[in-house]
Amino acid sequence: MIERLNDVGVEMPMTESSLKVENNNCVFKDSIFFDLEHYIYKKPICIGVFGCCFYDYKNQILKVTQYMIENSKDVRDILDLARSYFETMIEMGKKYIVTFSGNNDFTVINYLFEKYGIEFNIKDYFISIDLQKEYEKEMHKSIGLKALEKEFGINRENEVISGSNLAKTFSKIAKDDEYIKRMPEMKKQKILLYNEQDVVSLFGIYTKWNDVFVGSAQNI
């Protein structure tokens, strides 16, 4: 298992700029920002990368946590770590989970939790805020995360990786315990950075929502 913990410096968010949820502009203080990379073949097979972050208000940084599988044994282990992470966030008072098209990720991880006998369902503990759905409510059309990032002036440091290429990589890792050893270190880091930028973007979009969509604050 690759465990990556990283602090990402961000501008102090302004409450008046943030998406309003339940008459509250400060939801980002009580939120986690979540994204998975995964492999599905007819049914969910494994989580390739679990990525999540939260805003450390005191130090004005995002605390990013990531777990990436290295072999077939990690298929179960990453689920145990995910549940433990969520439980820690609940203890810290986090109430919301911010995603982009999050139902896909929720379906995958809840299916795998059930498959491996892990008693945890994300939606039993967190209120879901899906930025794709919020955009659809505001603009009455759909959009992808990378296109939405452009609207917020978010520039990625690395190239976009297609979901199909990620799935192929995680398929090989899950089937061949030696495959990860043959992977160039740069490729591993590229995958982790890609996932990290996804969750960091969620925070950036959420906390600057009203700067782009004036008057868009809505109740969920």
Count the Cβ atoms, other than its own, within 10 Å of residue 198. Answer: 23
- Contact of 209 with 39, CB cutoff 8 Å: no
Flag whether 169 is in a domain. Answer: yes
Flag whether 98 is in a domain. Answer: yes
Flag whether 208 is in a domain. Answer: yes
- Contact of 38 with 47, CB cutoff 8 Å: yes
Residue 105 domain boundaries: 2-212
Flag whether 77 is in a domain. Answer: yes
Percent of the chain with pLDDT over 90: 81
Into how many domains does the chain fold?
1
Where the chain has pLDDT below 50, the residues are 216-220
Flag whether 25 is in a domain. Answer: yes
DSSP string, the chain: -EEEEEEEE-PPPPGGGSPPBTTBS-GGGGEEEEEEEEEEESEEEEEEEEEEEEEETTTTEEEEEEEE--STTHHHHHHHHHHHHHHHHHHTT--EEEESSHHHHHHHHHHHHHHTT----GGGTSEEEEHHHHHHHHHSS---HHHHHHHTT---SS----HHHHHHHHHHHHH-TTHHHHS-HHHHHHHHHHHHHHHHHHHHHHHTHHHHSTT-----
Question: pLDDT digit string (tens) for 105-164?
Answer: 999 999 999 999 999 999 899 999 999 999 999 888 999 999 999 999 998 877 678 778
Flag whether 218 is in a domain. Answer: no
- Contact of 198 with 4, CB cutoff 8 Å: no
- Using CA atoms, how far apart are residues 103 and 106, in angstroms rounded to an integer? 5
Flag whether 48 is in a domain. Answer: yes
Residue 110 sits in a domain of what CATH number?
A: 3.30.420.10
Identify the pLDDT of residue 161. 80
Flag whether 220 is in a domain. Answer: no
